[in-house]
Amino acid sequence: MAATILDGRKIADEIKNEIAVEVAALKDAGKRAPHLAAILVGDDGASHTYVNNKIKSCKKVGFEYTLLNFPETISEAKLMTEIDRINADDDIDGVIVQLPLPDHISAAKVTDRILPHKDVDGFTNENYGRITSKKPGLLPATPFGIVELLKRYNVPMEGKHCVMVGNSRTVGAPMSSIMSYHENATVTVCHIYTEDLAKHTKQADILIVATGKPALIKGDMVKDGVAVVDVGITRLPSNNERGYTLSGDVDFEEVSKKASFITPVPGGVGPMTIASLLLNTLKAATTASTITTKI
């Protein structure tokens, strides 16, 4: 039986439509639309693409948005001052800083400068720490999006064995905490240095992979019926018109033959991350949201 594709684009569009309805209701009630500010440093092409996709999504749902594009030479102190200015602006509900930043700027210091209630990426230390609370703040966008995707496809999580491959602060670590504390899954955390990785991945009912290692997970590393979420996306050289192909951390062709559910790359986790940023911005703007999320 073929695996069900966890279509992030489809679910993200559903969420955006739900948000658009809520934003229209806010405006009808005489309230302003949520406002997202995006900070971009430098002229990296990929970063511009990511930010532009977020701005397009803001337009689609009716959010206000502000794009602040600073030169790569901006000092860390100056960037901090700009964040302070946004923090003090009551008309801006959410702030994102597009990563990576230039080497002379500490991403950790900059992201933690954002007020927690405006931190729609969920990267500040306070929001990170509150993941294990029964009343979490703004959740990291990618893990939030993954859980929402699984929920909307009715993938069982409670009591299931979730194996997380990857322990980064942005995905792996918060993802494992959310699955354990909020979804009541039994969680094993692995990474690229785990000895005999296949021994662990074969036990997974839900396998989430975020390592940046193309095609790390092969078909013989999973059991039949596993639900697979592939967070990785890497450009590999190719002779096609674009000059590259995109590869996930999972060998889709092999693993999809055994999985019950699987995300595509692209079109799986990426769109859900943006949808989660929008949900977090809506939450930051109003606590009266009628959109049902499970966390």
pLDDT 10s per residue in the chain (295 long)? Answer: 689 999 999 999 999 999 999 999 999 999 999 999 999 999 988 899 999 999 999 999 999 999 999 999 999 999 999 999 999 999 999 999 999 999 999 999 999 999 999 999 999 999 999 999 878 999 999 999 999 999 999 999 999 999 999 999 999 999 999 999 999 999 999 999 999 999 999 999 999 999 999 999 999 999 999 999 999 999 888 888 888 888 999 999 999 999 999 999 999 999 999 999 999 999 999 864 455 565 5
CA distances from 93 to 17, 32, 128, 160, 264 (A): 20, 11, 19, 36, 32
Q: Quick one: fold of 141-270? A: Rossmann fold (3.40.50)
Catalytic residues: 54, 98, 121
Could you tell me if 65 and 84 are in contact, meaning their C-beta atoms sit under 8 angstroms apart? no
**pTM of the predicted model over 0.85:** yes
User: Of the CATH numbers 3.40.50.10860, 1.20.1050.10, 3.30.70.270, 3.30.930.10, which one belongs to the domain with range 30-121?
Assistant: 3.40.50.10860
Could you tell me if 141 and 129 are in contact, meaning their C-beta atoms sit under 8 angstroms apart? no
Per-domain boundaries in the chain: 30-121, 141-270
Helices (H), the chain: 8-28, 45-61, 76-87, 107-113, 125-129, 141-152, 172-181, 197-201, 252-255, 269-285
Q: Helix or strand or coil: residue 57? A: helix
CA distances from 209 to 15, 42, 43 (A): 24, 30, 29
Strand-pair partners of 237? 244
